[in-house]
């Protein structure tokens, strides 16, 4: 048997979560955000699963879009970071990609481009994130300039929330106010809601929602929200116990001996480490599920192994371990590693076996690869 470290992706859960996003703003459209290899879930299998029902997809850059086109995905794909040089414009125009435009250099490049089909532009307004986009003062002129170009087929007014994951933040309302002011001056379809906006800020719903993390069944909120219950976790990271040792008080476990047993302790070693994408920052006490029972990791995470506390747990060599998934939410593990579920998901490495459930196959059967 092969090393048991496995990531299992439930594509049916992702389809369910996309439908949830759609149901929250039923009159509107939703881009399925599949950037960064679908947040580590596999951009091609995820896009294939959603292709029949997603209104469009979104990725960060042209390389990610090309991967989907090569795989036969035909729905429009938005480039969230736009293009980086003018030589991308032909591919964008010919492959039905939509592109964000966030600076004057990009407008100049479009102005002097000779392309076969005019472009669908998502012109970015900076409403307070201060990362990409034109300020409210600059925006109307940029919009007018693009509007007048034969190279431009349509403009969507796009902005991004900085703090929608905090339901109490006053920033969200201020960003919406800025968006609506510009929207009155520049009549275009509008898009601002990420997952957090889609899930709880109905005032942010516009023509296009942009759900990302929620598609993968993970809540964007630090404080849980009632709606979180309707999300289905899509990724399960699992492995098995490969060794068991009974240690005595005073025995130290793992690199630098950071964990010292204060009593007789049964320690299990599992085939999972930071080279698989499990964060080395995980502290002693980070939860883990062994054989369906909740326990904790102890000592430092190594490159290929982690030690877990089996004291009082019914488990032995070969028994299953879930690092995160349906029994243990990534959102519970993430704070123990000073991070968020997004980095846990995107950090999974190629050494981990990838399994898919809920794929569509020609015979209509479930397949695993
Ligand atoms: C990644 C991204 C999203 C999706 O954000 P989530 O918090 O994962 O829902 C939406 N819009 C833009 C511009 C993004 O970069």
Residue closest by Cα to atom 14 of ligand 1: 80
Q: Are 355 and 369 in contact (CB under 8 A)?
A: yes
Report which of residues 362 and 222 the model is more confident about: 222
Task: Report the nearest atom of ligand 1 relative to the CA of 80.
Answer: 13
Pocket test residue of 100, 210, 340, 342 for ligand 1, highest count of atoms within 8 A of CB: 210
Is 263 catalytic? The answer is no
User: Among the atoms of ligand 1, which is closest to the Cα of residue 39?
Assistant: 8
pLDDT digits (tens, 9 = 90+) for 30-86: 999 999 999 999 999 999 999 999 999 999 999 999 999 999 999 999 999 999 999
**pLDDT value for 1:** 67
**0.85 exceeded by pTM:** yes
Domains in the chain: ranges and CATH: 11-218 (3.20.20.10), 235-368 (2.40.37.10)
Q: What angle do CA 75, 76, 79 make, to 5 degrees?
A: 135
Q: How many C-beta neighbours within 10 Å does residue 204 have?
A: 24
Q: How far is CA 79 from CA 57, 68, 257, in A?
A: 9, 12, 47
State which ligand 1 atom lies nearest to the alpha carbon of 214: 9
Q: Whose CA is nearest to atom 6 of ligand 1?
A: 212
Rounded to 5 degrees, φ, ψ at 120 are -100, 115
3 marked among binding-site residues: no
**What spacing in Å lies between the alpha carbon of 212 and ligand 1's midpoint?**
5
C-alpha 107/C-alpha 86 separation (Å) is 10
Nearest-CA residue for ligand 1 atom 1 is: 212
191 Cα to the center of ligand 1, angstroms: 11
Q: Is position 216 annotated as part of the catalytic site?
A: no
Atom of ligand 1 nearest to the CA of 158: 13
Task: Give the binding-site residues of ligand 1, using a 6 Å CB cut-off.
Answer: 33, 35, 80, 160, 194-195, 210-214, 220
The reply, when asked if residue 131 is annotated as ligand binding, is: yes
Residue 323: Cβ within 10 Å count: 27
Question: Which of 18, 22, 35, 139 is an active site residue?
Answer: 35
Q: Tens digit of pLDDT for each residue in 130-178?
A: 999 999 999 999 999 999 999 999 999 999 999 999 999 999 999 999 9
Residue 363 scores a pLDDT above 60: no
- Residue 60 has a pLDDT of 98
């Amino acid at each position: 048997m092969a090393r048991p470290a496995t990531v299992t992706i439930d594509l049916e859960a992702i389809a369910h979560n996309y439908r949830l996003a759609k149901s929250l703003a039923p009159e509107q459209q939703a881009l399925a955000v599949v950037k960064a290899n679908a947040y580590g879930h596999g951009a091609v299998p995820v896009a294939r699963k959603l292709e029949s029902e997603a209104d469009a997809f979104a990725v960060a850059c042209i390389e990610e879009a090309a991967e989907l086109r090569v795989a036969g995905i035909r729905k429009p794909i938005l480039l969230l970071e736009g293009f980086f040089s003018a030589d991308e414009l032909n591919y964008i125009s010919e492959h039905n990609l939509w592109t964000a435009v966030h600076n004057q250099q990009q407008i100049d490049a479009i102005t002097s481009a000779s392309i076969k089909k005019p472009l669908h532009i998502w012109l970015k307004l900076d409403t307070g994130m201060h990362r990409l986009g034109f300020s409210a003062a600059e925006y109307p002129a940029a919009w007018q300039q693009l509007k007048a170009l034969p190279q431009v087929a349509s403009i969507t007014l796009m902005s991004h929330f900085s703090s929608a994951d905090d339901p109490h933040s006053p920033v969200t309302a201020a960003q919406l106010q800025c968006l609506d002011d510009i929207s009155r001056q520049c009549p275009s379809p509008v898009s601002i809601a990420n997952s957090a906006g889609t899930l709880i800020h109905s005032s942010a719903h516009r023509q296009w929602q942009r759900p990302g993390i929620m598609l993968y069944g993970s809540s964007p909120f630090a404080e849980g929200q009632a709606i979180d219950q309707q999300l289905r976790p899509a990724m399960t990271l699992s492995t098995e116990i490969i060794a068991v040792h009974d240690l005595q008080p005073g025995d130290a476990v793992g690199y630098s001996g950071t964990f010292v047993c204060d009593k007789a302790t049964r320690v299990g070693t599992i085939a999972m480490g930071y080279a698989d994408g499990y964060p080395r920052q995980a502290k002693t006490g980070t939860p883990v599920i062994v054989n369906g029972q909740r326990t904790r990791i102890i000592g430092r995470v190594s490159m290929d192994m982690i030690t877990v506390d089996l004291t009082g747990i019914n488990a032995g060599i070969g028994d299953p371990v879930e690092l995160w998934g349906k029994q243990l939410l990534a959102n519970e593990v993430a704070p123990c590693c000073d991070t968020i579920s997004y980095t846990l998901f995107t950090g999974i490495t190629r050494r981990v076996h990838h399994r898919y459930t809920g794929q569509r196959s020609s015979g209509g059967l479930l397949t695993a690869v």
